[in-house]
Amino acid sequence: MATAESTALIDVGILFGAVALAGLVANRINQSVIPFYILVGMLLSEYVVGRVDFPALLGTDSIPHGSDLALANTDFVHVSAEIGIVLLLFFLGLEFNLDRLIASKERIGKAGTVDLAINFGAGLLLGYALFGSFLAAFLTAGIVYISSSAIITKSLIDLGWIANDESDAMLGSLVFEDLFIAVYLAVATALVLGGGAVGEALGRIGVAVGFILVLLLLVYLGTEWFQRSLETDSHEFIVLRALGITVLLSGFALSIGVSEAVAAFFVGMAFSSTEHVHDLENLLEPLRDAFAAIFFFWIGLSTDPSLFLGVAGLIAVAAVATTPTKLLSGYLGGRIYDLSERRSVRVGLGMTTRGEFSLIIASLALSGAGTALPEPIARDVYAFAVGYVLVMSVVGTTLMQYSSTIESVVVPRLEAGIGSASPSSDD
Amino acid sequence: MTVYESDLPGVGKKFEVELEDGERLVIVTHNTGKREVYLKANPDADGDKLFEVSDRLARKIGTILEGAYFQPVQAEAVETMLSDDTYLEWYNVSESAEIAGQTLEEADIRNRTGVSIVAIQRGGDLISPPTPETVLEVDDTLVVIGEREECAEFETLLGDEV
């Protein structure tokens, strides 16, 4: 019988092999990789492979069965997934240039506020209707609000929309969402880790806000230090130092009850004003992608698909309710950017994809199981979020792929409607 | 002509160049350095992707478009092989070339390297065959014949090591 130690390496090998294969399949059929990473994780979990009794099926004892066959949810997988979260947010921070944001604050602010009001608002209502508690509603609101920067950006490039005017409106709204989600995660983490008690949650929010202020101060005053910290010709040293600083600060944040993701975001922001941005992007991108893939895999590994049965109705309701809200907010965002009817519709179609950040919120919900959230509700929110992301990532990428068909149906009607109301409004 | 520039957070930068007849050339510079070039039939049309190139190639294409590109024939890039091991090559005399400013006699190229300079292209003129008194000037293009080894040897005299 193999010991845990002797199978650790082969487990990690299976993990990477499975993720690589999932990526290949997703690529072949022109879909986003994220749902496939999750699905393959689910497939190899104790809940799926672990429940299959091969020996009984084949009448032999030589094949391991049950939990022996499933990939264990080890510390390695969990910590790698955490690093994936940290690197995802680190990159957001890195891309987040305050000057650029201020330069186009008006449009981004307007389009972003419309997006926030419609989708976060709808999420709050929906979450409260589905789960009946404020915290669950708050988490649901985050889950349905935040579009997937990773999937949408990649689709923009793949479809060639990146050269078109709609890319400005979409990327602008994503920036607003990303900034909001950094603050949101700080508050949500405090609420979840605060165990649900108002007093303690407030205390933790205080700590979180304090920590963010310290980080902001660090970002503001420490540019020179961050600049010097990576002053080396060796790629090896740049990667090691960047990881050292980022993971350590994120870990420290988590240890005092502040979201590691938020800390990573601010560390990324600190590096964004140094001259190393380009190097960091080039050198850390493959690392981010590898660890993010483990994160999605881990999400699958921790998901019992049979729980989907219980929340399938909720997922369906949410998908039906929140696809139109994104279509609407995207359309309005496009109009704020002075885009034509057709392009505004396209912004809406493009923004419906939800992905990585919804899953980060889901993992946060899970960590509050039994304390801030009653165990069954936490499990439901988690299963709901994973199922919802699976559905919405496929719906979103499909809507984008078939946008020209949809546009040809929708746009003439919109133009007819608007045209009769105010003939000159179309561009 | 107007050039519109916009940021693409998470991707890079986008430049839109107004061409004639309302066409637009769209250049997306990715953070990775990759460039994608699109053409739009009019400002409101979807972009048709023309091509994508690496950072290095993009810079080279850029200098050609600018009309500033003058780096005649790199040895590796274009070489004409006459027989098994005999090459006919073109070299540019750069500022840093050791032999710049010397006459062919002073430079003593045949004895030092084995190659023969069969012609010199200078501006629009062709000096063929050059005499021992011919002075090698910066920006001359030398047409050289010799064996592979000898050509390599000659390149060291030009100062642009490969």
Could you report the per-residue pLDDT of A285-309, keeping only the tens digit for each?
Answer: 899 999 999 999 999 999 989 989 9
Say if A196 falls within a structural domain.
Answer: yes
Cα–Cα nearest to A307, from A119, A9, A42: A42
Say if A156 falls within a structural domain.
Answer: yes
Q: What is the CATH number of domain B77-161?
A: 3.30.70.1450
Read out DSSP for A86-135? HHHHHHHHHH--HHHHHHTHHHHHHHHHHHIIIIIHHHHHHHHHHH-SHH
Range of the domain at A222: 75-418
Q: What is the pLDDT of residues B56-114, one digit of tens each?
A: 899 888 888 877 665 555 554 455 666 667 777 888 888 888 888 888 888 888 888 88
Instruction: For residue A400, name the pLDDT band (cuts at 50, 70, 90).
Output: very high
The predicted pLDDT at position A55 comes to 65
Say if A2 falls within a structural domain.
Answer: no
Instruction: For residue A388, name the pLDDT band (cuts at 50, 70, 90).
Output: very high
Q: What is the pLDDT of residues A179-221, one digit of tens each?
A: 898 889 988 988 888 765 677 778 888 888 888 888 888 888 8
Which residues does chain B have within 8 Å of residue A160's beta carbon, measured at their own beta carbons?
38, 46-49
Q: Min CA distance, A278 vs chain B (Å)?
A: 7
Task: List chain B domain ranges.
Answer: 3-66, 77-161
Q: Min CA distance, A173 vs chain B (Å)?
A: 10
B5 and chain A: CB distance < 8 Å anywhere? no
Q: Min CA distance, A163 vs chain B (Å)?
A: 6
Number of CB pairs < 8 Å for A and B? 59
Kindly compute the dihedral angle of the four CA atoms of residues A115, A117, A119, A123, in this order, to the nearest 10 degrees. 160
Per the structure, how many domains does chain A have? 1
Domain of A340, CATH number, reads 1.20.1530.20
Euclidean distance between CA atoms A132 and A283, whole angstroms: 45
Decide if B25 contacts B39 (C-beta within 8 A): yes
Say if A43 falls within a structural domain.
Answer: no
Q: What is the pLDDT of residues A8-25, one digit of tens each?
A: 888 899 999 999 999 999
Euclidean distance between CA atoms A69 and A54, whole angstroms: 9
Say if A22 falls within a structural domain.
Answer: no
Instruction: Provide mean pLDDT across the span A257-280.
Output: 87
Say if A41 falls within a structural domain.
Answer: no
- The mean pLDDT of chain B is 82
Say if A123 falls within a structural domain.
Answer: yes
Euclidean distance between CA atoms A425 and B21, whole angstroms: 25
A419 CA to centre of own chain: 38
Cα–Cα nearest to A354, from A331, A376, A379, A321: A321
Whether ipTM > 0.85 holds is no
Q: What is the pLDDT of residues A221-263, one digit of tens each?
A: 888 888 898 888 899 999 999 999 999 999 998 888 888 888 9
